[in-house]
Amino acid sequence: MATRTSPKPRAGPRVRVRRGTLSRRDIVGATLALIRDDPGQTVTMERVASALNTRPMSLYTHVRSREDLLDGAADLALREWRVELSRGAGWEHQVRSWCRGLRAQIRRYPPLVQEMTRNGCFRPALLEKIAVLARSLRRAGLEGRALADVLRWIPQTVIGASVLELARPRDLQSIEDEAAAIFASMGELEARDRAEFADILPFFSERSLDDLFEYTLGRLVDGIRTRLP
């Protein structure tokens, strides 16, 4: 019987760097490119070195460890995110736009989501984006404790929702999968509990997984509205 072999992982992009010109920016940029092209592949010093056409030991001149490398990549990923809030739009539109932008950036670089708040602190690049949000909410009339509460609430809600999305099992990656899983579990319920789903189960498959985030976003906006003067 022939032995089956696993397919080789993609090598990822290669960046030509002349000898002696390697920099921390080159290394962090190559790391970000590897994650963007293949988010499911583990980031290793060997992979990054291969992408730069150099040896792993050469990287340690510029980065202390793999954790330091990922920390730099997370900061660069956040700086890459351009927050563009239309000045003519209302605060609700601006908040929704900001939240969708952060979610999109997290989904683009999923391995870095925990690095954004590692060691109990926010990345400076993330705080810069939160400052943009703060200016929008100040114009809407929020200030003091109410503003502080909202600025804590918004990014953590988006990051938390995004982490849950990324943690979904492979067999629950579509709304059809979700509806099928719910239906399959109905047989384990008592008749009284099963009856509670009889009239609403068809609506589950009418939505999309993105609707879950939009629902969260809607409730977030509702909550902010209650804090306005």
Looking at residue 180, its pLDDT comes to 82
Are both 58 and 163 inside the same structural domain?
Answer: no
Residue 2 located in a structural domain: no
Evaluate the CA torsion angle 69, 70, 72, 77 in order and state its sign: positive
Are both 183 and 216 inside the same structural domain?
Answer: yes
d(CA 174, CA 183): 14
The terminus-to-terminus CA distance of the chain in angstroms comes to: 74
Are both 32 and 115 inside the same structural domain?
Answer: no
Specify whether the CB–CB gap between 13 and 37 falls below 8 A.
yes
- pTM comes to 0.79
CATH number at residue 99: 1.10.357.10
Residue 214 located in a structural domain: yes
Tell me 3's DSSP state.
Answer: P
How many domains does the structure of the chain reveal?
Answer: 2
Are both 49 and 116 inside the same structural domain?
Answer: no
Are both 107 and 208 inside the same structural domain?
Answer: yes
d(CA 100, CA 118): 22
* pLDDT tens, residue order, the chain (229 aa): 434 444 444 545 554 445 557 899 999 999 999 999 988 888 999 999 999 999 999 999 899 988 889 888 988 998 999 888 777 889 999 999 999 999 999 999 888 887 776 655 567 888 999 999 999 999 999 999 999 999 999 999 999 999 888 888 888 877 788 888 888 888 889 999 989 988 888 887 777 778 889 999 999 999 999 999 8
Q: Length of the chain in residues, anyone?
A: 229
Looking at residue 20, its pLDDT comes to 58
Are both 29 and 134 inside the same structural domain?
Answer: no
Residue 69 located in a structural domain: no
Are both 211 and 125 inside the same structural domain?
Answer: yes
Domain that holds residue 145: 85-227
Specify whether the CB–CB gap between 155 and 100 falls below 8 A.
no
Which tokens is 52 given?
């730069």
Are both 148 and 192 inside the same structural domain?
Answer: yes
d(CA 53, CA 21): 12
Looking at residue 1, its pLDDT comes to 40
Are both 56 and 96 inside the same structural domain?
Answer: no
Are both 93 and 59 inside the same structural domain?
Answer: no
Burial class (CB in 10 A: 0-12, 13-18, 19+), 129: buried
d(CA 81, CA 195): 47
Residue 14 located in a structural domain: no
d(CA 220, CA 155): 11
What is the average pLDDT score of the chain? 85
Are both 205 and 168 inside the same structural domain?
Answer: yes
Residue 4 located in a structural domain: no
Specify whether the CB–CB gap between 17 and 38 falls below 8 A.
no
Looking at residue 225, its pLDDT comes to 95
| Tally of CB atoms within 10 A around 23 | 11
Question: Alpha carbon of 4 to those of 1, 7, 8, 107: distances in Å?
Answer: 9, 9, 12, 33
Are both 127 and 31 inside the same structural domain?
Answer: no
Tell me 106's DSSP state.
Answer: H
